């Protein structure tokens, strides 16, 4: 994981950005454990912003980053205290001393003291950097703190003059990846490549979608990942035309395609890769026609990634090339300009081409700056993922194409020279895919 110096440097950078706007206090709640059913919790995963600045992988509490107008940073942590009885059941805690010694807190207090101490930390701050609307319980807690400060106005107390989303600072930092973050993304990509090949080998006629999912997620963990970075999609047959379908009990059948959208998470950074393979080991002619169209367009989309380009331009390129292909294959009629203008291409391609990638699968960072598409710069990581989805009940489509969904997705780093495909090791050429799928 990142060293303490890495987190300290991130906090200094955040404080410097806050100082440019007069300083203030940034409040970042840690993630809470959430019940799955009865008294069993979901697997805990730390809030990405909290982890980015602190690195503590424990639930409850919050981080308070105080930035002076000069850019000096002070970290205050509210954490669970050491408790021998609870640690026997649920594992060790950093505690108050650990928060200081291991995680660089200048001050640390028990979670139970948050409500009593937050008002003092926020009092007089020029700006409170807090994500309103993200968590109703935290919104209510903050409302109580602000009410307390307003009630003390005659005693000289003053609440923050403004509340600003911390994403204006943190998400801009997170958008451009540092070398150590790229190391994690490359490792996540390496793990994910093996998982997708395992899916192609295992996804034979008679297997169920959730069995293929098990092979994928086993590969994630076997190679040192923490598991999937998002819900694994294994969609066989007509399920491949459902964008966010999750692996279920459906059987993979000879003659169908299987669409797998799965990314392994490594030290809180995730890959995001989609591949589509023939269950029988060979594409039918109709499937191959759709696949080769999608693959050709995807390659063109990747080639368009470079400094100064933007995601809207890449998407427009993909839409045009796909639409031309839809017309060539008989899915649409008329000219590409007409079908783009009336948006009828969306019948077969209804989502965007790219999103940011990093700690979150749909990672943070603005897509538009001053109302214009954001220009790509080195260090950004994005997906390129065109798709073609022909519904099973689409009577206007050639019969042999109905119920076929194709998506091909890679993770692309913007470099000073152009781009690097981080997930190039995952097979996607027709011959490569069929070779892995050999039955």
For residues 55 and 46, give the distance between their C-alpha atoms in angstroms, rounded to a whole number.
9
Catalytic residue, candidates 92, 144, 168, 362: 362
Say whether 355 is catalytic: yes
Say whether 218 is catalytic: no
Catalytic residue, candidates 209, 272, 363, 411: 272
Catalytic residue, candidates 201, 210, 288, 351: 351
Q: Contact, 323 vs 345, CB < 8 A?
A: yes
Q: Contact, 200 vs 275, CB < 8 A?
A: yes
Catalytic residue, candidates 389, 410, 411, 419: 389
Say whether 261 is catalytic: yes
Q: Contact, 185 vs 158, CB < 8 A?
A: no
Diameter over CA atoms, the chain:
80
Say whether 419 is catalytic: no
Say whether 244 is catalytic: yes
Say whether 362 is catalytic: yes
Catalytic residue, candidates 58, 409, 410, 434: 409
Say whether 315 is catalytic: no
Say whether 196 is catalytic: no
Say whether 409 is catalytic: yes
Instruction: Tell me the residue ranges of DSSP E strands in 32-175.
Output: 35-37, 40-41, 62-67, 73-79, 107-110, 127-129, 162-164
Catalytic residue, candidates 36, 244, 346, 439: 244
φ, ψ dihedrals at 223, nearest 5°: -95, 10
Say whether 171 is catalytic: no
Structure tokens at 328: 């060539």
Q: Let me know if 229 is exposed, middle or buried by CB neighbors in 10 A (0-12, 13-18, 19+).
A: buried
Instruction: Tell me the residue ranges of DSSP E strands in 72-156.
Output: 73-79, 107-110, 127-129
Say whether 207 is catalytic: no
Q: Which residues pair with 270 in a beta bridge?
A: 265
Q: Contact, 33 vs 25, CB < 8 A?
A: no
Catalytic residue, candidates 196, 275, 355, 419: 355
Active site residues: 39, 244, 261, 272, 351, 355, 362, 385, 389, 407, 409
């Amino acid at each position: 994981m990142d060293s303490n110096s890495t987190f300290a440097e991130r906090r200094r950078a955040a404080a410097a950005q806050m100082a440019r706007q007069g300083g203030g206090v940034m409040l970042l709640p840690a993630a809470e454990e959430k019940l799955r059913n009865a008294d069993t919790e979901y697997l805990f995963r730390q809030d990405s912003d909290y982890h980015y600045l602190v690195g503590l992988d424990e639930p409850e509490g919050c981080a308070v980053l105080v930035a002076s107008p000069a850019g000096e940073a002070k970290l205050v942590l509210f954490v669970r205290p050491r408790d021998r009885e609870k640690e026997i059941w649920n594992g060790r805690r950093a505690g108050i001393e650990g928060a200081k010694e291991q995680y660089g807190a200048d001050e640390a207090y028990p979670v139970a003291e948050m409500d009593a101490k937050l008002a003092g930390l926020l009092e007089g701050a020029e700006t409170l950097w807090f994500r309103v609307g993200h968590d109703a319980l935290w919104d209510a807690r903050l409302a109580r703190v602000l009410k307390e400060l307003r009630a003390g106005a005659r005693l000289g107390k003053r609440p923050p003059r403004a509340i600003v989303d911390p994403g204006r600072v943190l998400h801009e930092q997170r958008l451009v990846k540092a070398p150590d973050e790229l190391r994690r993304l490359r490792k996540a990509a390496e793990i994910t490549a093996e998982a997708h090949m395992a899916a192609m080998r295992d996804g034979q006629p008679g297997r169920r979608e959730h069995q293929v999912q098990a092979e994928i997620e086993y590969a994630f963990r076997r190679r040192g990942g923490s598991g999937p970075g998002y819900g694994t999609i294994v969609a066989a047959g007509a399920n491949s035309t459902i964008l966010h379908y999750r692996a279920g009990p459906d059987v993979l059948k000879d003659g169908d395609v299987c669409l797998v959208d799965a990314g392994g998470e490594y030290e809180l950074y995730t890959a995001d890769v989609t591949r589509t393979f023939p269950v029988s080991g060979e594409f039918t002619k109709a499937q191959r026609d759709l696949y080769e169209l999608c693959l050709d367009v995807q390659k063109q989309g990747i080639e368009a990634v470079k400094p100064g380009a933007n995601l809207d331009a890449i998407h427009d390129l993909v839409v045009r090339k796909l639409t031309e292909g839809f017309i060539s294959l008989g899915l649409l009629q008329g000219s590409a300009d007409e079908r783009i203008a009336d948006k009828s291409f969306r019948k077969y391609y209804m989502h965007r081409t790219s999103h940011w990638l990093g700690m979150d699968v749909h990672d943070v960072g603005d897509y538009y700056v001053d109302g214009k598409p954001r220009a790509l710069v080195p260090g950004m990581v994005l997906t390129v993922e065109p798709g073609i989805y022909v519904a099973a009940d689409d009577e206007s489509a050639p019969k042999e194409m109905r119920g076929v969904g194709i998506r091909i997705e890679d993770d692309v780093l913007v470099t000073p020279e152009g781009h690097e495909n981080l997930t190039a090791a995952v097979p996607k050429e027709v011959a490569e895919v069929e070779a892995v799928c050999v039955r």
